[in-house]
């Protein structure tokens, strides 16, 4: 570029994010019966994503009682962080002096902060990530300058988990390598490790002295709030260190409020407070202070027994709805039977890329390019339509 050339004129085209492109294509489709099964938000039987009643109630209290809008400070709402910690960790671990945490803008902010910590404070600067994974994981770690090492995990065409392949790959990892794990409800594959499978993962992570980074974005939407935290708690107990990137955006339905937290467990209390400072620095230079509203709402819900009960009941209702839809989807065809053993909002259909495109083109049914479908976007009424559209593509046909 010459010194007097107009700025920003010589940009090369960059690949658009796949899901954002899918959203645009869906919006541009004029067919009235088009079906959005791509975007990862919970929907009810009417296809809506309403604000949870416990959230509405907490918001009313917040509006009445909030005395100021001054900055929260770099750690965010510390009472939110403290109360929330008991949900993934349980009360005892949450009170452990080796555990520190801070509020982040969503689970994405927590992951980015974890990536910055790994980049700045470990010598390997490497993270192991199973394939497939959430589309934003690799860009987040790359943007922080962390090297990505891929391990096998799941084959959508056979719907099979390759735990042996995963563990064999991790046996080659070095001390200080990070290992990214979906705490429950794998996005996109719907995998939920059994307690025995978590044992194997915790064993290799502890022996190889890896730093587990658990991404827990769907707690309560898989097997239930407690069961969905099993892997996180086991890794906390077994490994020297652990990072937990948490999102309240799905299980409290807060999406746009960007409500998350990052916790870190250090080997001892003195290291924990140094780690806390090491976490504050990249947070300060990225967003300085997190947004308030979503965290204040979660804190109010967790402060009050009546709202906590209401939130838990609503979340359980959402979980059961998704489970029922998963069952109906699995019953459509023997090639989909594997979906029954999976949990959470997502499944990868065992179909080709051509099939994904044909669903979009011929039926106005939008799923992600990799075959990921948002189970929560279905209703019992539209499942037969999806089944008819899928039929030519299932069971090894075409």
Ligand X SMILES: Cc1ncc(COP(=O)(O)O)c(C=O)c1O
Residue 241 CB, nearest approach to ligand X (Å): 20
Rounded distance between C-alpha atoms, residue 329 and residue 67, angstroms: 49
**48-56, 61-69, 104-112, 225-233 -> range binding ligand X (CB under 6 A):** 104-112
Quick one: tokens of 9? 């004129």
Q: CA distances (Å), 113 to each of 117, 175, 215, in order?
A: 6, 21, 12
Out of 76, 88, 106, 130, name the contact with ligand X by CB under 6 A: 106
Q: Residue 134 interacts with ligand X (CB under 6 A)?
A: yes
Q: What DSSP string runs through 82-117? A: HHHHHHHH-HHHHT-TTEEEEEEEHHHHHHHHHHHH
Out of 38, 101, 107, 130, name the contact with ligand X by CB under 6 A: 107
Residue 249 CB, nearest approach to ligand X (Å): 4
Classified as helix, coil or strand, 311 is helix
Q: Residue 252 interacts with ligand X (CB under 6 A)?
A: no
**Looking at the DSSP assignment, which residues form a beta bridge with residue 178?**
127, 211
Residue 141 CB, nearest approach to ligand X (Å): 12
Q: Is 383 exposed, middle or buried (0-12, 13-18, 19+ CB in 10 A)?
A: middle
Out of 40, 88, 130, 291, name the contact with ligand X by CB under 6 A: 40
Residue number with CB closer to ligand X (39 or 289) = 39
Q: Residue 22 interacts with ligand X (CB under 6 A)?
A: no
Rounded distance between C-alpha atoms, residue 163 and residue 192, angstroms: 12
- C-alpha closest to that of 233 among 133, 112, 87: 87
Out of 101, 260, 291, 364, name the contact with ligand X by CB under 6 A: 260
Residue number with CB closer to ligand X (134 or 366) = 134
Out of 36, 93, 102, 108, name the contact with ligand X by CB under 6 A: 108
What per-residue string of b and e applies to 296-305 under the rule 16 or more CB within 10 Å gives b? bbbbbbbebe
Total residues in contact with ligand X, by rule CB under 6 A: 12
Q: What DSSP string runs through 209-250? A: T-EEEEEES-TTSSS-TTGGGHHHHHHHHHSS-EEEEEE-TT
Residue 268 CB, nearest approach to ligand X (Å): 29
Rounded distance between C-alpha atoms, residue 132 and residue 155, angstroms: 8
Out of 101, 153, 181, 187, name the contact with ligand X by CB under 6 A: 187
Residue nearest to ligand X (CB): 106
Q: Which residues are tagged catalytic?
A: 134, 215, 250
Residue 230 CB, nearest approach to ligand X (Å): 17
How many C-beta atoms surround the C-beta of residue 72 within 10 A? 17
Residue 349 CB, nearest approach to ligand X (Å): 18
Q: Name residues contacting ligand X, limited to 72-101 (CB under 6 A).
A: none
Quick one: tokens of 22? 């899918």
Residue number with CB closer to ligand X (117 or 332) = 117
Q: Name residues contacting ligand X, limited to 200-219 (CB under 6 A).
A: 215, 217
Q: Would you tell me which residues interact with ligand X (CB under 6 A)?
A: 40, 106-108, 134, 182, 187, 215, 217, 247, 249, 260
């Amino acid at each position: 570029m010459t010194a007097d050339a107009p700025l920003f004129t010589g940009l090369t085209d960059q690949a658009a994010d796949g899901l954002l492109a899918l959203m645009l294509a869906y919006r541009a489709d004029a067919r009235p019966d088009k079906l959005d099964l791509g975007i990862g938000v919970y929907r009810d039987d009417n296809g809506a994503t309403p604000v949870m009643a416990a959230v509405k109630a907490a918001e009313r209290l917040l509006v009445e009682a909030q005395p100021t809008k001054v900055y929260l400070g770099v750690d965010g709402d510390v009472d939110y962080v403290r109360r929330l910690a008991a949900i993934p960790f349980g009360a005892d671990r949450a009170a452990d002096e080796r555990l520190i945490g801070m509020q982040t803008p969503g689970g994405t902010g927590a992951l980015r902060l974890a990536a910055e910590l790994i980049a700045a404070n470990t010598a390997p600067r490497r993270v192991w990530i199973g394939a497939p994974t959430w589309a934003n994981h690799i860009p987040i770690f790359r943007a922080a300058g962390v090297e990505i090492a891929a391990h096998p995990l799941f084959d959508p065409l056979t719907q099979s988990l390759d735990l042996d392949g995963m563990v064999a790959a991790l046996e080659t990892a070095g001390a200080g390598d990070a290992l990214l794990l979906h705490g429950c409800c794998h996005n996109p594959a719907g995998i939920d490790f059994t307690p025995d499978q978590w044992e194997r993962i915790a064993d290799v992570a502890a022996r190889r002295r890896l730093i587990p980074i658990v991404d827990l974005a769907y707690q309560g939407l898989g097997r239930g709030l407690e069961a969905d935290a099993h892997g996180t708690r086991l890794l906390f107990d077994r490994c020297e260190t652990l990072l937990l990137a948490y999102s309240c955006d799905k299980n409290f339905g807060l999406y746009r409020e960007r409500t998350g937290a990052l916790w870190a467990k250090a080997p001892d209390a003195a290291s924990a407070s140094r780690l806390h400072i090491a976490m504050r620095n990249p947070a300060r230079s990225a967003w300085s202070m997190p947004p308030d509203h979503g965290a204040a709402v979660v804190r109010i819900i967790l402060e009050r027994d009546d709202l906590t009960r209401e939130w838990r009941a609503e979340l359980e209702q959402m979980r059961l709805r998704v489970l029922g839809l998963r069952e109906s989807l699995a019953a459509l065809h023997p090639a989909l039977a594997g979906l029954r053993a999976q949990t959470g909002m997502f499944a990868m259909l065992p179909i080709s890329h051509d099939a994904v495109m044909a669903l979009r083109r011929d039926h106005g049914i939008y799923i992600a390019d990799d075959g990921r479908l948002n189970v929560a976007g279905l209703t019992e009424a539209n499942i037969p339509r999806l089944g008819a559209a899928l039929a030519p593509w299932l069971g090894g046909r075409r």
